Chains A and B, each alone.
Chain A
Amino acid sequence: MSEPTSPLPAGIAARRRWMGVLARASAAEIAERLGQAPPLPPHQRLRGPETGLAMVRGRQGGDGAPFNLGEMTVTRCSVRLADGLVGHAYVAGRDKQQAEWAAVLDAALQNPALRPALLEAVIEPLATAQAERAQRDARKAAATRVQFFTMATMR
Chain B
Amino acid sequence: MSTTLAGFADPVLEAQRCFRALLEAMSRPGRVQRLATGLEPPSPLSQAAAAVLLTLADSDTPVWTDAGAGAADWLRFHAGCPLAAAPEGATFLLACAAPPPLAALQAGTEEEPHRSATLVLQVAELQEGAGWRLTGPGIESVHRLLVKGLPDGFLAAWTANHARFPRGVDVVLCAGDRLAALPRSTRIEEP
Contact = CB atoms under 8 A, between A and B. Distances in A.
A80 B78 contact: no
A33 B40 CA distance: 34
Interface stretch (B1-9, B15-23, B106-114, B140-148): B1-9
Interface in A32-53: 44-47, 50
Contact of B6 (A47, A50, A84, A88): A47
Contact of B7 (A47, A84, A86, A88): A47
A80 B4 contact: yes
Sorting the interface of chain A by its residue count into under 10, 10 to 19, 20 to 34 or 35 or more gives 10 to 19
B4 A45 contact: no
Interface in A67-117: 78, 80, 84, 86, 88
Contact of A86 (B4, B9, B11, B78): B4
A44 B2 contact: no
Contacts of B78: 47
B77 to A, nearest CB: 7
Contacts of A88: 2
Nearest to A85: B4
B142 to A, nearest CB: 44
Contacts of B2: 86, 88
A47 B77 contact: yes
A45 B6 CA distance: 7
A50 B11 CA distance: 10
B131 to A, nearest CB: 39
Interface in B51-78: 77-78
B4 A84 contact: yes
A79 to B, nearest CB: 9
Contacts of B11: 50
Contacts of B6: 44-47, 80
Pairs of residues from A and B, 9 with the lowest C-beta to C-beta distance, nearest first: A46-B6, A80-B4, A86-B4, A84-B4, A86-B2, A47-B7, A44-B6, A47-B78, A45-B6
Given A45-B6, A47-B78, A80-B6, 15 more contacts: A44-B6, A45-B9, A46-B3, A46-B4, A46-B5, A46-B7, A46-B77, A47-B6, A47-B7, A50-B11, A78-B77, A80-B4, A86-B2, A86-B3, A86-B4
22 contacts: A44-B6, A45-B6, A45-B9, A46-B3, A46-B4, A46-B5, A46-B6, A46-B7, A46-B77, A47-B6, A47-B7, A47-B77, A47-B78, A50-B11, A78-B77, A80-B4, A80-B6, A84-B4, A86-B2, A86-B3, A86-B4, A88-B2
Interface of B: 2-7, 9, 11, 77-78
